[in-house]
Amino acid sequence: EDKVVQSPLSLVVHEGDTVTLNCSYEVTNFRSLLWYKQEKKAPTFLFMLTSSGIEKKSGRLSSILDKKELSSILNITATQTGDSAIYLCAIEYGNKLVFGAGTILRVKS
Amino acid sequence: DGGITQSPKYLFRKEGQNVTLSCEQNLNHDAMYWYRQDPGQGLRLIYYSQIVNDFQKGDIAEGYSVSREKKESFPLTVTSAQKNPTAFYLCASSIPRMNTEAFFGQGTRLTVV
């Protein structure tokens, strides 16, 4: 069964909109939750979250982990066309790094 | 410069042939992973390895095989038993249990005709 579930699967917004991407997981004893952005080939690292309730920010992107709800969100404010990509959530547990199906974000100008 | 190198970038093979995808890293990472990505979808774990001479099956290992004879290298063989091998294959490496991110290669796009 899927250990990491992302929603929505795809999303189309207009430039300037704010989006919230969700990641829920089933594993409780994980070491970290990671967010990646994939535009063409290799995913690029965005955030690593290990502690609940502590927001991480990078420019217009931010992310937070809620261990009680077994979930994480990735927020993007004032979206730009360059934000169009697949956003991937992953959890590191046991000796594995397991990804969700991703959210395809398309930002229209 | 340190990084992960996958080769080739594009690969075409005839149905029924085995093919090996290369993944080399000079980051001194112990853990290495192989993922498969189909169009518009996320990454599915094929195999992973935490140390040399040891590896485990991921979620979709059937039709694939790997070896880990050297720390730097983790080649993936797509065998003729894999029913639908056409996909984008990504290799990654990390330092296990250290709360650091995984680094990815640029991927190999395999097309079986």
| Binding-face residues of A in 53-82 toward B, CB within 8 A | none
pLDDT for res B40: 78
Contacts of B48 in chain A (CB under 8 A): 95-97
pLDDT for res B1: 62
Mean pLDDT computed over A86-100: 91
Mean pLDDT computed over A2-18: 95
Contacts of A48 in chain B (CB under 8 A): 99-101
Note the pLDDT tens digit of each residue in B19-63. 999 999 999 999 999 999 998 788 999 999 999 999 999 999 999
The nearest alpha carbon in chain A to B51 belongs to A95
CA atoms of A29 and A45, how far apart (whole Å) = 22
The nearest alpha carbon in chain B to A51 belongs to B99
pLDDT for res B4: 96
Of A95, A102, A104, the CB nearest to B48: A95
pLDDT for res A1: 59
CA atoms of A98 and B105, how far apart (whole Å) = 17
Note the pLDDT tens digit of each residue in A11-60. 999 999 999 999 999 987 888 999 999 998 899 999 999 999 999 999 99
pLDDT for res B19: 95
Mean pLDDT computed over B59-73: 97
Closest by Cα among B69, B4, B1, B2 to B33: B4
CA atoms of B33 and B46, how far apart (whole Å) = 8
Residue pair B50/A95 in contact by the 8 Å Cβ criterion: yes
Q: Which of A3, A40, A92 should be substituted to probe chain B, the one whose Cβ sees the most B Cβ atoms within 10 Å? A: A92
Least Cα separation, residue A100 to chain B (angstroms): 6
Number of residue pairs across A and B with CB atoms under 8 Å? 62
Per-residue confidence band for A95, with pLDDT thresholds at 50, 70 and 90: confident
CB distance from A29 to chain B under 8 Å?
no
Closest by Cα among A12, A15, A18, A11 to A77: A18
